[in-house]
Every structure is written in C-alpha cells, then in structure tokens.
Amino acid sequence: MTLDEDLVRALRTDYRQTPLSGADRAMLDYAVRLTRDATRIHAQDLDVLRAAGFDDRGILQITLIAAWFNYINRVADALGVGRE
C-alpha cells in the first residue's frame, strides 16, 4: 500500500525499471515466474528469495498471495466480471 502515485505508475509500466529494494525485486520476479508457469519454479528460485531475506514462511505467503490473485482473476475473467 502506498500513496506514491509515481511509484504505482512506474510499477504498472514496468516494475523492472522501478527503483526497488532487492527483496521487493526478488519477490516480484518470483511472482511473475509463478504467474507465467508455476511448473518452472525450482529450488534456485526459492534460494534467490532466501538470499533476499525471506524465510520459508515469507516464501509461502508470497506464493499463496500470488497464486490466489492468479486464481481469482481467472475466475473473474471466466465469469465476465468487469466486462460490459
């Protein structure tokens, strides 16, 4: 949560070009990999998160939140939520 509209705009445009902490960048990189193809997540991806300061509980929380948003967006898409 932020009130920084410039940050929000930059994140929406391309988070990789946004000045973020190493932990935030690692978290977003992981969420993108999980979103694109969760079957391609390997131990090395988790090692990157650990190196960025996340423990197993943090990694689980990131995974659950990203997976939930992927799920709920697909449900909404399938039901036409938000379409006119």
- Three-state SS across the chain? CCCCHHHHHHHHHHHHHCCCCHHHHHHHHHHHHHHHHHHHCCHHHHHHHHHCCCCHHHHHHHHHHHHHHHHHHHHHHHHCCCCC
pLDDT tens, position by position, for the chain (84 residues)? 678 888 899 888 999 999 999 999 999 999 999 999 999 999 999 999 999 999 999 999 999 999 999 999 999 999 999 877
Give the chain's domains with CATH numbers. 5-79 (1.20.1290.10)
